[in-house]
Amino acid sequence: MDIEQVKTFLQVAAHGSFLEAANRVHVTQSTVSARIQNLEQALGARLFIRNRAGAVLTPAGRRFLRHAKTLVLTYEQARHDVGLPSRFRASLTIGARIALWDEFLPRWAARMLHLAPDVSLNTEIGFEDDLMRRVIAGTMDLALMYGPQQWAGLRVDYLFDETLILVTPDPSPAERVGRERNPELDRGQVQAFDPNQARDQVQDPGLDQVLGQGADLNRRLDRKPDQDQDAMPGVDDGYVYVDWGPTFYAEHRKVYPDFERPARTANIGWLGLQLILADGGTCFVPERVAAAYLRGGCLHRVTGSPILRMPAYVVYPRESDNEVLATALGVLRELAAEGEVVDEDVAGAVGG
């Protein structure tokens, strides 16, 4: 089996066309056909059905798709490791949700560069499912995320609590206060988050069922309210629901039990911020991400809104031959501990 055959297979599967795949990999259509035919012979199965509409994966092709992605990733990782310049003694691949690359992980990378200048860092962005698959497949050394899964051979360690606040670009009192103040919410955070409880939740076998039930954002949010949504502080027609995952959804539902799907949703915090900065509204984002906007006056805390907490975790193999993994984990834990003090300072600076 040739890696170019596998790459070509992925292009055909992605575009549903041998001709488009040929354009993508810069070869002739006959070359694409020959590669797919050779791959099918090597696997002993037909991978595509060709018709006037293009190329459609067979059941065998769909089963091979996941393996093909892993094969290419493994190949690229091997090529990178083997081809390291002599000044590097090792490489480390780390991936995380995009929000964790805002301020936190760049500081980690800077400290790693200082402590281990002879280590090459490969940095990536991804969502939980892809990150977990990469760590399981061995093509990623460690991954940071909000909603990990327990898996044989992997460790899931709690790092810190992400503090999410409701923000808006509109400083007007009406927007900041909302149509009705809730005295319970004005007293501070909704509920202090217990890290030990967070660990238990990750290891709870019932969590997989919750994750499965919460996978579809449309299904989760299409609920009819028992009372006027306008009574919720800062959550009105301009609210953007950011899908931070099942833990955030559960905490959000405790505070807004009658929440109805808003006009706008986003799957990452960065996108939620862009939406409200462009056209107003509110959304929940990590306090450390919003800090610079708050100091600059671009964003404002919504008065009377709750503070929600969401744990962040690091996932890595229980057994690894990567000699720098222990150093990388140590730096992560140091920064997480330092962040607890920084969060308190930021909260005081922006009016907590």
**Residue 86 falls within a domain, yes or no?**
no
Q: Are 209 and 282 members of one domain?
A: yes
pLDDT 10s digit of each residue in the chain, 352 long?
788 999 999 999 999 999 999 998 889 999 999 999 999 999 999 999 988 888 999 999 999 998 888 888 777 777 766 666 677 788 899 999 999 999 999 999 999 999 999 999 999 999 999 899 889 888 899 999 998 988 888 999 999 999 999 999 988 743 444 434 344 433 334 343 344 444 444 444 333 433 333 334 444 444 444 444 445 566 888 999 999 988 899 999 999 988 888 899 999 999 999 999 999 999 999 999 999 999 999 999 998 899 999 999 999 998 877 778 999 999 999 999 987 644 444 444 333 3
Distances (CA, A) of 247 to 62, 101, 197, 201, 293: 31, 20, 12, 9, 25
Q: Are 166 and 246 members of one domain?
A: yes
State the pLDDT at residue 239: 94
Q: Are 257 and 303 members of one domain?
A: yes
Q: Which of these, 62, 9, 3, 57, lies nearest to 33 by C-alpha position?
A: 9
Distances (CA, A) of 293 to 158, 165, 290, 350: 28, 13, 5, 10
CATH number at residue 50: 1.10.10.10
**Distance separating alpha carbons of residues 132 and 140, to the nearest angstrom:** 9
**Residue 351 falls within a domain, yes or no?**
no
Q: Are 150 and 180 members of one domain?
A: no
**Residue 20 falls within a domain, yes or no?**
yes
Q: Are 142 and 164 members of one domain?
A: no
Q: Which domain holds residue 112?
A: 95-157+316-345
**Distance separating alpha carbons of residues 157 and 312, to the nearest angstrom:** 9
pLDDT digits (tens, 9 = 90+) for 108-142: 999 999 999 999 999 999 999 989 988 988 889 99
CATH number at residue 320: 3.40.190
pLDDT digits (tens, 9 = 90+) for 232-289: 566 888 999 999 988 899 999 999 988 888 899 999 999 999 999 999 999 999 999 9
Token code pair at residue 153 = 């051979």
* CB crowding 300-321: b at 16 or more within 10 Å, else e: bbbbbbbbbbbbbbbbbbeeee
Q: Are 66 and 100 members of one domain?
A: no
pTM (global) more than 0.75? no
Q: Are 200 and 320 members of one domain?
A: no
Q: Are 233 and 104 members of one domain?
A: no
Q: Are 179 and 276 members of one domain?
A: yes
Q: Are 100 and 127 members of one domain?
A: yes
Q: Are 165 and 233 members of one domain?
A: yes
Contact 311, 198 (CB under 8 A): yes
Cα end-to-end distance, the chain, whole Å? 58
CB-based contacts of 142, cutoff 8 Å, min separation 6: 92, 94, 95, 135, 314, 315, 316, 325, 328, 329
Dihedral, 289, 291, 292, 294 alpha carbons, nearest 10: 120
State the pLDDT at residue 341: 43
